[in-house]
Amino acid sequence: MQSTYSTMGSSKTAILSGRKLIDLRSDTVTRPTAGMYDAMMSAPVGDDVYGDDESVNRLELSVAELLGKEASLFVSSGTQSNLIAVLGHCARGDELITGDDYHIYIDEAGGPSVLGGIAMCALPTDHLGALTIAQVEAAIKPDDIHCPVSRLLCLENTVHGKAQSPDQLKSLADTARAAGLMTHLDGARLMNASVALGQAPKKMAEPFDSVSLCLSKGLGAPVGTVLSGTKAFIRRARRDRKLLGGGTRQAGILAAAGSYALDNHIERLTDDHFNAKRLAEGLSTIDRLKISQQTNMVFISPSDGRQAELQSYLSDHGIVISAGVPSIRLVVHLDVNEDDLGRIIDAIKKFYQ
């Protein structure tokens, strides 16, 4: 499987003079808004390792309240957040159960196994990115010396832009908990799911012992993820963050960007979803493309297998994509506006003329 993060090294130099670069590789490419820059510039700071950075403390309290958890911890990335969560729930030789298409398994360098000595049991997900109760039940190992101890169920929402059913995730979490497992939610784009489904974040986070919420994707902050759970869990997480080199000093400059994103950028995710829908509709008239869209992601599958050629052509027109196989992921975000949609649609249509 080709990573969704592959890039074309010369793409940024290919932009035509005077034209805006449109980057559709991911919503991680967003730039801070003017208001976010102002919040960063005026942020009160301290030394977060000592726990006295006011801006970090404010962010952690607000995310804990947003997700209905006792405490939270600001960390550098979603990868670090997921790894810290796994280390907090599992011991060496334990096992986590997850989906074979989830970030924790395919996109995070095998961290739980490499650094935690934790086995990963990856179950096949369906076309919506979901697992079934039967799959989870069958994957939980018996109390047998030949098996690792099944300790943790890791789920994700959204999965490749697909919002997962809160009721289904709760059923999976309940199944795991009944068997004595802990539960963790990779909610990197949880706010996209919340807005798309009209469900409160607290409700969606409720079934899980820990939740990771990314601030640097659709929410538009430059850096950071917040891990939430019980006070005891976050106390352990703070130690593991230090172990992984994630302790920072005047991090309030970054935390202020996260707080601004939570205060101003959650509801505007509906704009991204609407624009993604418009983009999908505009491309649906191209016979050689199969189109699918959910939340802020549009997937196009060329029937002629010319992904790399399309990537090069669009780069020459100031549009950056990843040439995924078999599907190309186009991610709409706060730096993509209505005029940009027209440019994208026109360029792709001309390529297939």
pLDDT at 16: 53
Question: Residue 205 and residue 227: Cα distance in Å, rounded?
Answer: 12
Q: How many domains does the chain have?
A: 2
Q: What is the largest CA-CA distance in the chain?
A: 66
pTM, 2 dp: 0.94
Query: Are residues 138 and 274 part of one domain?
Result: no
Query: Are residues 130 and 85 part of one domain?
Result: yes
* Residue 1 belongs to a domain: no
Question: In 157-220, at which residue ranges do the beta strands (DSSP E only) sit?
Answer: 182-187, 210-214
Read off the DSSP letter of residue 165. Answer: P
pLDDT at 152: 98
Domain range for residue 145? 34-264
Question: In 252-321, at which residue ranges do the beta strands (DSSP E only) sit?
Answer: 289-294, 297-302, 319-320
CATH number for position 74: 3.40.640.10
Query: Are residues 319 and 199 part of one domain?
Result: no
CATH number for position 275: 3.90.1150.10
pLDDT in tens, 230-247: 999 999 999 999 999 999
Query: Are residues 165 and 110 part of one domain?
Result: yes
Query: Are residues 238 and 224 part of one domain?
Result: yes
Neighbours of 348 (CB within 10 A): 24
Each residue's pLDDT tens digit in the chain (353 positions)? 344 444 444 344 444 556 899 999 999 999 999 999 999 999 999 999 999 999 999 999 999 999 999 999 999 999 999 999 999 999 999 999 999 999 999 999 999 999 999 999 999 999 999 999 999 999 999 999 999 999 999 999 999 999 999 999 999 999 999 999 999 999 999 999 999 999 999 999 999 999 999 999 999 999 999 999 999 999 999 999 999 999 999 999 999 999 999 999 999 999 999 999 999 999 999 999 999 999 999 999 999 999 999 999 999 999 999 999 999 999 999 999 999 999 999 999 999 98
Query: Are residues 320 and 252 part of one domain?
Result: no
Query: Are residues 190 and 320 part of one domain?
Result: no
Question: Residue 194 and residue 190: Cα distance in Å, rounded?
Answer: 6
pLDDT at 19: 81
